[in-house]
Structure 1
Amino acid sequence: MTFNNKVVWITGASSGIGKALAIELSKQNCKLILSSRRKTELLEVKNQCSSPEQVKVLTLDLADYLNMKPIAESAIALFGKVDILINNGGISQRSPIIETSIEVDKKLMEIDYLGTIALSKAILPHFVAHSSGHYVVVSSLMGKFSSHYRSAYCGAKHALHGFFDALRLEHDKDNIKVTMICPGFVNTNVARNALTADGSKQVHQDEMTENGLEVNAFVKKMIKAIRKEKFEAYIGKFEKFGVFVKRLSPRLIHNLVMRSKVR
């Protein structure tokens, strides 16, 4: 697969992985639609892209999942089509289950799961009509196995895999692709912005996140996986091997994660 002349729509494009991905993809002779809640930051990202005239900004809030159809229609109207939707937007969580408000679980599911699938369903008729389309979903290794203090986040990411595996099966006949990107630790502000037990932001950085892959190195690997139209790609340092360990022994991955310094 090539990005040449494709229209790529990226959510969560105002910072972190989404921002770095937009800047890197802008070198690939494709048109970009950048989305998040923050228009000012999106415009700053646009101006850092190689060809800003080939980049459009479209604000959206994934929490507003009941109103994605007009957003999808607006995105299609910007360049006349969308070829690839990169579902990157979302939030994380850091808190013990026993202390975590159910409102935090609800918010993670609304944004990370319902917002993502609502947007994906809104663009689906367009993909079907053109017998072409590629969903790229930024999940997590936490969508394949779990860790301490991330219960709501793990739940939402596991749910994404269930939904998009079904979508891939139902629309194989329509030539629609699905690539699940599963990052390990990537050095972004995801931990600082993670919700705590009462819904407030954690603010401080996790040690493991700070020592994770640099975001520019991560997006290069991500782009390679998208080009290859992989079903799933596990991108990280040593932690990515947890996926394979769990396949061999759920008890072993449990014991390994228990001994880790993850917080």
Structure 2
Amino acid sequence: MSEKVIWITGASSGIGEATAYKFVQEGYKVVLSARNKEALERVKNSSSSPQHCKVLPLDLVDQASFAEKTLEAITAFGHIDIILHNGGISQRSLIRDTPIAVDRKLMEVNFFGTVALTKELLPHFIERKSGQFGVISSLVGKFGSPYRSSYAAAKHALHGFFESLRLEHFEENIAVTMICPGFIKTDVSKNALTADGTPLNEMDKAQENGMSAEDCAKEIFKALKNKKEEVYIGGKETMGIYLKRFVPAIFTKILRKSEVR
């Protein structure tokens, strides 16, 4: 029971994959979840200690399976210390072109899936009087951006939900770390939903030039280990947080002129 265990969703690629490698390297037991079992097996076998990994396929839309999946995650190594909510899907479409069904899908995966899984795991943390929720939000969880309306809305909603959870369960020693990456070099833009609900299948220029997933994983590890309440990860784009806070009108003008797609 002294061994630390982290459950990572969206662990089959990108930030989730890199973070899984980092936590295994640091001696943690890791439960790997995502939809693609083959990709999870690849991550497990590519880690420095495959025997410290448990592959647990999970679809954030299939919330009826969460009770069983949570029990399986807990029993894999006896308990869970941290869950890193990393699973999700981005967006690249204008509001006027996007049917409400696509908006609902973005909310279902990015918000309701995360919340439902949290509610299944929360009793385990309460019983142990210990636990930590790491939540991969985004810089657009702090401000809106063109082409990401419902994605930004879902990330904003996560902040509201988990800030409330942090306050409600402080006495049970349950921590929340909100993690807001900027441009990280992953396939997130390739997989982003367009107006008709299909993937973009293109790499954003900003994403291509962004921080590596490995460097991002190092920052996530530090933030979770130190139980930071909120952390911003990336390059100069993280300055948008402070521009929004202190000079919002100027920041709005900057966003209008930016080549964000």
TM-score (norm 1): 0.97
For residue 227 of structure 1, the aligned residue among 208, 225, 228 is 225
Equivalent residues of 1:66, 1:118 under 8 A apart:
no
- Equivalent residue for 2:170? 172
| Deviation by residue 1:64-92 (Cα, 9 ceiling, x = unmatched) | 12431221111111111001000000000
Following TM superposition, by how much is the alpha carbon of 1:245 offset from its aligned partner in structure 2, in angstroms?
1.1
- Equivalent residue for 2:80? 82
- Equivalent residue for 2:244? 246
| Deviation by residue 1:8-33 (Cα, 9 ceiling, x = unmatched) | 00000000111111111111111010
Measured in 2, the distance between the counterparts of 1:65 and 1:97 equals 27
The residue type equivalent to 2:66 in the other structure is: M
Unaligned stretches of 5+ residues in structure 2: none
Measured in 2, the distance between the counterparts of 1:21 and 1:237 equals 19
Measured in 1, the distance between the counterparts of 2:217 and 2:28 equals 16
Q: How many residues align?
A: 260
For residue 65 of structure 1, the aligned residue among 49, 63, 66 is 63
For residue 191 of structure 1, the aligned residue among 189, 192, 196 is 189
SS of residue paired to 2:211: coil
Measured in 2, the distance between the counterparts of 1:41 and 1:27 equals 19
The residue type equivalent to 1:64 in the other structure is: D
Measured in 2, the distance between the counterparts of 1:208 and 1:12 equals 22
Measured in 2, the distance between the counterparts of 1:43 and 1:235 equals 28
Equivalent residues of 1:65, 1:110 under 8 A apart:
no
For residue 107 of structure 2, the aligned residue among 85, 109, 119 is 109
| Deviation by residue 1:212-256 (Cα, 9 ceiling, x = unmatched) | 111111111111111111100000111101111111132122111
Question: Any runs of at least 4 consecutive aligned residues in structure 1 with deviations exceeding 4 A, and if so which?
Answer: none
Which aligned pairs between 1:197-212 and structure 2 lie closer than 5 A? Answer: 197-212=195-210
For residue 24 of structure 2, the aligned residue among 3, 15, 26 is 26
Measured in 1, the distance between the counterparts of 2:196 and 2:183 equals 24
Measured in 1, the distance between the counterparts of 2:207 and 2:26 equals 28
Measured in 2, the distance between the counterparts of 1:50 and 1:26 equals 7
- Equivalent residue for 1:125? 123
Measured in 2, the distance between the counterparts of 1:251 and 1:203 equals 33
Measured in 2, the distance between the counterparts of 1:106 and 1:161 equals 18
TM-score (norm 2): 0.98
RMSD in angstroms over aligned alpha carbons? 0.9
**Percent of residue pairs bearing the same amino acid type:** 51
Measured in 2, the distance between the counterparts of 1:222 and 1:60 equals 22
The residue type equivalent to 2:209 in the other structure is: N
The residue type equivalent to 1:101 in the other structure is: P
